[in-house]
Chain A
């Protein structure tokens, strides 16, 4: 499940867990129509890690609880999905509808709000609706608007920053395409890459 083997060290397993936790982190799927699936996946990963920890603790004769670092990570990611708003909302019904995937109804209610009541939260919820539907440009605009109207709000700020990062890096996790952890620019300078270029198609190569 975690992609590790029995012979891996505790450190390696912790690293593997962290990588997966970053990948399926609720922040990456906040507001996404697939957030419930991400939550399921996160739960599976947590369970798997839990199992491994238990097995290893038992093997160590219970002398040492190696769960120090993992509880910190583990504890933070449960039940975070589907709306993390901790303050008082002006639109609790609409939030509930969005969280249960009833986007069309949510939008109807939201659009029915008079212009004068359209505060930062209104724009934030509208952004979520666009995001759900896949209208990412509109979502981006409205998240920005909500943040500009109320920059102190952590929820609006998180969404805004997340979208800014995605626009800049084309990635939703780790702040970069760090999969396989190879710095392409290092390779470009070496003969290995030149060798590759000769062997591969002449379709163009862009090292980023």
Chain B
């Protein structure tokens, strides 16, 4: 579910790459400071994208400072200082982590459940804190998860409907990033489309695993073999990626447009390619 929204590194300028790393560091530090050290495990490219998107629309630019890294104490590198945009991203990470964990607990075997158990109270605490800070987003997520549960139970064959809960979550997460009405519309659409992308990329990635476990995966309803399903999924992903680009073109950013363009116009397509290569390799 995570790690599908990331840059295509060969096309990043060096200073863009360094900025990206600094934002990654910044989010890591803020997660730890607000939600405790274990929360760093949720750190993924997607949430760095979210903080960057948020910062691109903010009035004030983020601030950077050379700091040490917990995981690599020998290096001091630029790190983004604490700010409201990272706070939002960290909270969204906690909300999603909680739901994902509860989801895993429900459809995993007992050994995995047992391993997750000690983390649950910590996650519940983090969830409560994040939900108190951003109750609207938490509410949308709750409803979407319910919807997801129902459509999986009914074994919905519609890819569009299967994507919708994730799409609605991201639409609700992105919309508040601006106060401008037109920008909100663009953000809502952008979030919806990225939610589709994330759900479909995850479905494509997990196709074989889900088939073996008898788990729900809307892609399994198409075609007769994995090859044709993969081709279909790639087409569907490409269509959503194209629309994502169109929506993003209408967003008015104050900074980071180079990195954001790289991620949305090159990174997403590259990620699909990587998933497919993995499959062909066996």
Chain A contact residues, CB within 8 Å of chain B: 23-24, 28-29, 32-34, 37-38, 41, 130, 134-138, 140, 163, 166-173, 177, 179-180, 182, 184, 187, 193, 196-197, 200-201, 203-208
Contacts and interface: CB of A to CB of B under 8 A. Distances in A.
A34 B189 contact: yes
B250 A38 contact: yes
Interface of B: 6, 9-11, 17, 158-161, 167, 182, 185-186, 189, 192-193, 196, 235-243, 245-247, 249-250, 261, 265-266, 268-270, 272-274, 277
A205 B249 CA distance: 26
25 contacts: A23-B249, A34-B250, A37-B182, A37-B186, A38-B250, A136-B196, A136-B236, A136-B240, A138-B158, A140-B239, A167-B236, A170-B237, A170-B241, A170-B272, A171-B241, A172-B246, A173-B246, A179-B266, A182-B11, A196-B10, A200-B9, A200-B10, A203-B6, A206-B273, A206-B277
A23 B242 CA distance: 12
Contacts of A208: 269-270, 273
Contact of B10 (A23, A24, A205): A205
Contact of A134 (B196, B241, B261, B274): B196
A197 B189 CA distance: 35
Nearest to B250: A37
Contacts of A166: 238-239, 242-243
A23 to B, nearest CB: 6
B238 A134 contact: no
Contacts of B241: 170-171
Nearest to B195: A134
Given A136-B160, A137-B159, A24 B249 contact: yes
Given A24-B249, A34-B185, A37-B250, A179 B261 contact: yes
A175 to B, nearest CB: 11
Given A170-B272, A182-B11, 8 more contacts: A33-B189, A37-B186, A134-B193, A163-B239, A168-B238, A170-B238, A184-B10, A201-B9
A171 B160 contact: no
Given A37-B185, A179-B261, A170 B160 contact: no
A196 B245 CA distance: 26
A46 B63 CA distance: 36
A162 B17 CA distance: 34
Contacts of A28: 246
A177 B241 CA distance: 11
The listed residue with most B CB atoms (<10 A of its CB), out of A38, A135, A140, is A135
